[in-house]
Amino acid sequence: MMNFKSMAIAAMLVSASSAYAGDFVNLRDDLATLSAANGGLVVGANNPLRDKLYLNATSYSWLSGYSSNPAQLIATSISYTANAGAGVLTLLDYRINSGVELLPGIAQATIYDFVFRDSSDNSLVFGTRYINQVNNGQEINFLYRYGFEGFDASSAWLFLSDFDLRMYESGRTDDHSFASSVAFDGDAIRQKSDISVSEGNPYSGLYLVKTDATEYTLGNKAIGYYQAGEEGQAVVGGFIGGFVPTVAAVPEPSEYALMMIGLGLVGFVATRRKKQHLA
């Protein structure tokens, strides 16, 4: 269970000439069962130089009022390098969900919900940051993004503070277990971690999902979280509303007909006015 500071120390043991290994990793969507063996579950690494899911952030621009507290980091732009090149994530939208309960009646966390645009390919990127605020032994083992049925999805992460924890694993599943093979779910993107105040990992890093969806909207089920009982805690979780992917609306045939009628009327009026003017 390593936060980024520990990862950085490990990275120092690697040659300084080594390049960061990470990038957005495509999550396969053609398997009924996902496992690390068949490539359906993408597994990261403690060392950022060897973590295929890790993006190397090179600079940030912070939203005013959110740059001093590591629990409230909202970046308006993030420049990054990856093994396939570089890009800039530009913030399009964000939501802050405070007082999120894990156990009934206990305000356990604040969840940040982001939408970025990636300059490298103009894709939408959905971001999640779960801040576990209560030192009561409760932790989050899995975070989820929902609404990706019918869309491609790639996963990655980057850190925002020394309290952040890496993403252990990612895949297209809504499973809540630690099994090595899990059922495929095209709607859900699972991102595994261990976000625990008592273990010194109170915040998640910025966990990202890139998609080929062209638009986004608000949905009732956007971000999920789950405690899987790794240390004997209650097996419990939930979800909140937020940003979900969508596509630009395509007019219905009847709407096309109305548009054509409207254009025809505009043309008729313009022609008539021209004739009256010439007369």
**pLDDT tens-digit map of 199-217:** 999 999 999 999 999 999 9
108 with 128, same domain?
yes
Statement: residue 263 has pLDDT above 80: no
- Residue range 143-178, pLDDT digits in tens: 999 999 999 999 999 988 888 999 999 999 999 999
Segments forming the whole domain that contains residue 279 = 251-279
**Residue with the two structure tokens 């899987």:** 228
Residues forming a β-bridge with 157: 54, 207
Count CB-CB contacts under 10 A for residue 200.
13
Tokens, residue 48: 């950022």
CB-based contacts of 109, cutoff 8 Å, min separation 6: 100, 102, 130, 131, 132, 133, 134, 140, 225
- Residue range 89-118, pLDDT digits in tens: 999 999 999 999 999 999 999 999 999 999
Residue 251: per-residue pLDDT: 57
CA angle 158, 47, 35 (to 5 degrees): 80
21 with 122, same domain?
yes
255 with 242, same domain?
no
Residue 106: per-residue pLDDT: 97
Tokens, residue 133: 């605020």
**% of the chain with per-residue pLDDT over 90:** 68
The pTM of the full predicted model, rounded to 2 decimals, is 0.85
Statement: residue 254 has pLDDT above 60: no
277 with 142, same domain?
no
161 with 263, same domain?
no
46 with 142, same domain?
yes
Number of domains composing the chain: 2
112 with 156, same domain?
yes
Q: CA 124, CA 245: separation in Å to the nearest integer?
A: 8
Q: Are strands 203-204 and 164-165 parallel, antiparallel or unpaired?
A: parallel
- Residue range 20-53, pLDDT digits in tens: 679 999 998 777 789 988 889 999 999 988 999 9
215 with 259, same domain?
no
Residues forming a β-bridge with 126: 115, 209
For residue 220, which phi and psi values (nearest 5 degrees)?
A: -75, -25
Residue 13: per-residue pLDDT: 34
166 with 268, same domain?
no
Q: CA 145, CA 128: separation in Å to the nearest integer?
A: 8
**Average pLDDT of the chain to the nearest whole number:** 86
162 with 265, same domain?
no
In angstroms and rounded to an integer, the radius of gyration of the C-alpha atoms of the chain is 23
Statement: residue 128 has pLDDT above 50: yes
